[in-house]
Amino acid sequence: MNNDLEKELENKDIRPTAMRILVLQALMKHEYAMSLNDLEMEFENVDKSTLFRTLKTFEDKKLIHCINDGNGSVKYAICKATCLVEHIDKHVHFLCLKCNHTYCLTDFEIPSINLPVDFTFESANVIVNGVCANCK
């Protein structure tokens, strides 16, 4: 059961405390990326600084990546195998205008983008806005 999650954490060099297992569980449970606020709702009795630091730890250890949804809120999602290659998420994100959930479209790579002369490409952030399958 939680052994899997414990191992998951230990693999990433994160000590598997009760709190961290719960947060990881929550992140896995949802198919969309969660904000700090989403987690606060999920665990009402837990301090937000704890959740914040948990997320930071996860991010440092590359268990999750964060996404700026283009509206000011930051959301976190588990890194899939494809994320890990270079730790920069090269996939497209999708913000549903109805439910406000952000999805990692891990199977959809960012298309190549032209730039003016003398501008060099490092990475790109692509957020598509629209309506997701659940809200359709």
- Crossing angle of helices 18-29 and 48-60, in 10° steps, is 80
By CB under 7 A, the residues from 49 to 108 that bind DNA are 49-50, 52-54, 56-57, 73-74
Helix (H, G, I), strand (E, B) or coil at 6: helix
Q: What is the closest distance, in whole angstroms, from the C-beta atom of residue 33 to DNA in the complex?
A: 12
Q: Should residue 124 be labelled a site residue for its own copies when binding is judged by CB under 8 A?
A: yes
Q: Should residue 15 be labelled a site residue for DNA when binding is judged by CB under 7 A?
A: yes
57 contacts 27 by C-beta, under 8 angstroms: no
Q: Should residue 119 be labelled a site residue for its own copies when binding is judged by CB under 8 A?
A: yes
How far is Cα 108 from Cα 23, in angstroms, rounded to an integer?
26
Q: Should residue 44 be labelled a site residue for DNA when binding is judged by CB under 7 A?
A: no
Q: Should residue 37 be labelled a site residue for DNA when binding is judged by CB under 7 A?
A: yes
Per-residue binding string, its own copies, 88-117, x by CB under 8 A, is: ----x-x--x-------x-xx--xxxxxxx
Q: Should residue 112 be labelled a site residue for DNA when binding is judged by CB under 7 A?
A: no
Interface residue with DNA among 48, 61, 87, 98 (CB under 7 A) is 48
Q: Which of 16, 108, 2, 102 is nearest to 63 (CA)?
A: 16
- Binding region for its own copies (CB under 8 A): 68, 70-72, 74, 92, 94, 97, 105, 107-108, 111-133, 136
